[in-house]
Every structure is written in structure tokens, then in C-alpha cells.
Amino acid sequence: MVMRFWLFTIFVVIPVTVLPSRAADTLDLRDMAGWRIVVDDDASPAERYAADEFHDLFLKVTGHDLPTVREIGESDGNIFIGAGRALEYSSLDYTMKQDYAPEQLRVVVQKDNIAIVGGRPRGVLYGVYQFLEECLGVRFLTRDHVHVPRLESEDSGRLQEVDFTFTPPLTYRMLYYTEVMQDPKLSARLRMNATGPGMLAKFTDTQKARIGGYVTGYFLLHSIGSWMGDYDADSDPAIRALQKDGKRSPRQFCMSHPKVIRRVTANVALSALKHGKGATIRVVPEDAGRCECERCHGIADEYGGAHAAVVIKLVNDVARKVAMVRPDLTIGTLAYAWYRKPPENMPVESNVRIQYATYHACQRHPYDRLSCPTNVDTVHDIRTWRTLTDDLCFWHYSVNFNDYLAPPTNLDAVASQIRTSVALDGRGIMMQGPGSGLNCPFADMMMYLMARMMWDPGDSPTALREQFIDLHYGAAAPDIRRYLDLQRRTQRNGEGHSNCNGPFDEFGLSVELGRKGIEIFEQARAAAATQVERDRVEKASVGAYRLALGHLWYGKAPDDMSDTERRDARKIAGRLFELCRMHDVRENREGQPVRVAAQRLRKALDMKDGEAF
């Protein structure tokens, strides 16, 4: 029997494999033309969809168009997708004699039969994808690129007998990229089991059922204002947060004010009666500054100066009230911005979920670098929160909100973000990318890398990145690799510990990197063997063109900029915006269309409105 399990330390995830005690028999894919796919009459929609996915991709790899049946006429040559009566009376019946967790999967390959089983709702579907990837070499790279290998040698078509069980360490996995959120098929193939709240209403019940539905309750958005309802704050301004300038905040509430506590608690408790079993109710401050009143400062001082104490005190009050009427519900809140620091010795109620947002973390450096004081502090905060609650999840960032078109800045940090979250028993991760900013530079690669790492933190980020580059860029891969290696070296030599809102040079990126990158991408484009590869190279090159414009991108032209430099900048900008149109690159920063960046550049270069670059 082959098993894989994980040894976790704070920063290292080590895969350990226990090998069979005897030489395994093999199964030749070329000899499987007469096999059949077996699905029970009582299979769930996700299990039926799993059988369809298996059929279609197995056909592409092997050329075998296997029939899907409900009953078996032969004891051999069966691929059981999910549990059922046929499996119960087969040689693999023992796979049904245990309970499986909702996403736990088990793949058993024998010389005469195969079984892919697991928990509901998604274990079997994910088991099929695991088989397709690990046994057949299929790779789900992007929305429109599934790598399907060919059986080129005798060895490549042989499967060893194996009994493999895997349970993903994270209950909740979400990529906040529109490319994934709007596509249930891609989401399932990447084993991302959550989507944005706004997307759920767009999918039919059939679409959701066939991928096993979505996990909810971990994306904890700001909500205090909604719980205050139509309360007239103008007639009672003290319920608003006191700002440093002495004015009252138009957005934030004073969460220590007795009226706020009573109203929020009462409204949440009333709402609790209407929620479904096991739901999560969000009680989260608005995305604005903290209250500076004496009462809030007094609570913070009582718990080590951490203003999160004000939030947790309110949330604990709400949680206790809700537990009296609906003990099955969870109250969710954030640890974010001014309330990210954990309060000293302040227990969190057992029915409260904390989502720690790494907004202030350094994007450039891994979490295990002593040379990065910002991330050392971040990990310390996470550890402390973990001592206060057993229900901790994460809101990570893989984005620069002010600069969507710059290359990804967390190439060396993202694996440690995920592994640290898992090692500290985090229940889930939402990785926020550019949201509606479709087709940003190397976003496809980052989505693939992060999805694979969230599913299996033991994977090698370097191997995953190299694999994506080779398969996606083909003949242009050596040049793409050369650019990314140059970017990583440039970033390592830079200074600063910027979060997800900094200017490009605080991440170690530079104009020189952009200009050199343009040269490399032109070589990659020339090396590409097909138009598809050239298109992929062009889309990735957007980041280099943007870097070559430096601070001009922010609308700032140097005082001593020469006419020659202006002409050069216009040429680079013209090509950049041409690439954006060609490859549907829509936003240049959060909520801002690319055309706004074009207007900003024209102004910086003393051009007329609408003038061609």
C-alpha cells in the first residue's frame, strides 16, 4: 500500500512516501480499450460529472472511448467512479468499508480494476483529477489550456498498482481572480472550492451541483454598517468613530459605544434565526480607520494596546447571544489593518472565526526570512492569534492594488504564505489577486502555482513554476524563464518591505528590468513555434512594457525629461496599450480601466486628449 502524509514545521512541508513491500504489478494503458467506466444509479451530480471528465480526458490521452455503465458484466476491466452496488460486489469492495471526509479521496489501481472513491460532495471529483494528473500527466494550466500528454513510449503508458489516500489540509481554498471565480469548471479542476459571493447568484443549481457546490463562510467582508441598518447617525453622531482630526467618520462606527453594541447584537441575533444550518454570520468593521475615543483606547490599553480588543469584545458579545438561540452558527470577523494585532490574554469565543488578513505583510520576502522584520512580525501575530482561537483562516494577497500591470511581486513569497498558513492549522485561504483585472501579466502562472500549493502544500513551487513555463510557452520557454530569473534576482537585490499597495520600485522592480525584459520578450516571441505561443508571450510581456515607463505610469514625468526620452516613452506606451487591447487586459489598478492610465500618461507627456502615442 502506498500512502502519503505530511510532516509540518512552521516553514517546511516535507512529503513522505511509504513504498510497497513488494514489486508492484503494472497496468498498460494501451490494453484498456475494452474497459468500462462504472457509475452507480445513486451517484451524485458531482460523481456523474467526474465520470464525464474521466471519460473525455482519458480518451484524449489514450484514444480509448470507454463506455459508461451502471452494472458490470465482467469482474475485470472496470473503472469505478464513486461507491455503489457494482463496487460493493467487486474485488475492490474494501474501499467502501470506511467513511471519508467531504473532500478526502482514495485512488486504488490494480492490474484488473481501478476505483476512485471519496467523500461527498467533492472527494470523488477531486480523486478523478488527482488520477488524471498523477497517473496520466494531464495538467490544468489555464481556462483554455489543458495539457494532455501522448503515449510516446512503452514506459509512459504503464501504471503501477497503488492505493493512495489524500485529504487536503485546507477546508476552504479560493483564488480571487475573475478567471477562476466566473468559471466553475476551471475552479473545480484547480480544486478551488469557493468563489466570490457575487458570483454564486450567477450560476445555476445544476452548475453548482456538478462540481459539488461551493464552501461558504470564510470570505469575511465588512458588515458593521449593514447591522446598524437605518439608524439615524446624524441625530446621534457619537455612534460614529472619532477620527484623529476630531471629526466623526462617515463610514466607521464606534464599536465600544453601548448603542452600537446593543443594535448590532440584536440585529445579528434576529438574523440568526433565518440562517441555514452551520452558516457563518459576518460581523466585521467597515474598511475605514479606527475610533480614537477614550473608551476605545481604554479597552485597547487593557489588552496590551491592541485595538483588535474593541472588535473582539463586540464580536464575543454577539457570539454569546447567537449561541443561545443558534449554537450551530459561527460569527466571523477579520483581523485586519488597525485591528490586526492580537489582544493580549483576550480569549475568543469558540463560535467565532478569525480571518487574518496579511495586508501589512511584505510581498517580496518569504515568511521565514529573519532579514525581513515585517514578516517576522506578521508570523508572530499569526502565532498569537492561533493561541486565542481554534478557528483561524487567512486572507492573503497576490496583487499590487495600485499597479495591476506590473509583474507579480511575490514569486519568492507565495509558497511560504501558504505553508505557514497550513502549518499553523489554518482552515482556509483566500488569495486575493487583481479581481476583475483580467489577464494581468503572468496571472495564469500565479493562479496555477497558488492553486496547486493550496491543494498540496508539499508540492515544490519551483517545480510547478518550471512545469508551467515549459508546457505553456513551449519553444519560447527558455526566454520566459530567463526573464523571470532576472526579475527574481533584481528583486532580491532591492531594498524595502512593501505591502500590496507600494510603488513598483519598493518591490525591487526597475525601469532597467522593464527595458531588458522587452528585449527578452521580443526574443521569446521570435522563438515561439506557433501563434498561440506568441500570443501567450505577448500577454506576459505587458509587465515589462509597464516597468519600462517607470514613474510615468503614475503620471509623474521627470523635470529634465528630454524630447528623445518623451518619444521613446510614447513608443513604449503605444505598444503597451496595443497589447492591452489585443489580450483583453482591462484594468490598470483596482477599479480603474486601462484607458484612465492612458489619459494619465498623455497628461504627463504633454499630449492632447485622445492623441495617438
For the chain, list the domains and their CATH numbers.
Answer: 3-167 (3.30.379.10), 222-329 (no CATH)
Taking each continuous run of H as one helix and of E as one strand, the counts in the chain are 20, 22
- Per-residue model confidence as pLDDT tens digits over 392-430: 999 999 999 999 999 999 999 999 999 999 999 999 999
pLDDT score recorded for residue 235: 86
13, pLDDT greater than 70: no
The pLDDT assigned to 18 comes to 31
- The pLDDT mean for the chain works out to 93
pLDDT at residue 155, as a whole number: 60
Name 17's bridge partners. Answer: 4
pLDDT given for residue 154 in this prediction: 55
Q: Is the pLDDT confidence value at 24 over 70?
A: no
pLDDT, tens digit, 9 for 90 and up, residues 92-132 = 999 999 999 999 999 999 999 999 999 999 999 999 999 99
Q: Given this model, what pLDDT does residue 39 score?
A: 98
Do the beta carbons of residue 473 and residue 526 sit within 8 Å?
no
Would the pLDDT of 139 be above 90? yes
Identify the three-state secondary structure at position 270: helix
Averaged pLDDT for residues 562-584? 97
Lowest mean pLDDT among 20-24, 82-86, 144-148, 453-457: 20-24
Whole-number pLDDT of residue 26: 86
**Which DSSP category does 572 fall into?**
H
Confidence check: pLDDT of 576 > 50: yes
Q: How confident is the model at residue 493 (pLDDT cuts 50, 70, 90)?
A: confident
Q: Which own/partner pairs from 506-512 qualify as long-range (CB within 8 Å, at least 24 positions apart)?
A: 507/363, 507/364, 507/400, 507/406, 507/409, 508/364, 509/406, 509/407, 509/409, 509/547, 510/547, 511/547, 511/548, 511/549, 511/550
- pLDDT of residue 341 exceeding 80, the answer is yes
Give the strands of the sheet with 113-118, arranged side by side: 68-69, 36-38, 78-81, 113-118, 105-109, 162-166
Band of residue 12 on the pLDDT scale cut at 50, 70, 90: very low
Cell 503614475 belongs to 554
Q: Does the pLDDT value for residue 450 go beyond 50?
A: yes
Q: What percent of the chain has pLDDT over 70?
A: 95
Q: Does the structure show a pLDDT above 50 at 31?
A: yes
Segment 206-249, tens digit of pLDDT: 999 999 999 999 999 999 999 998 888 788 999 999 999 999 99
> Is residue 592 over pLDDT 70?
yes
Q: Residue 1: is its pLDDT beyond 50? A: no
Residue 504 has pLDDT above 70, yes or no: yes
Check pLDDT > 80 for residue 15.
no
Residue 125 is predicted with a pLDDT of: 98
Of 553, 579, 415, the residue nearest 488 (C-alpha): 415
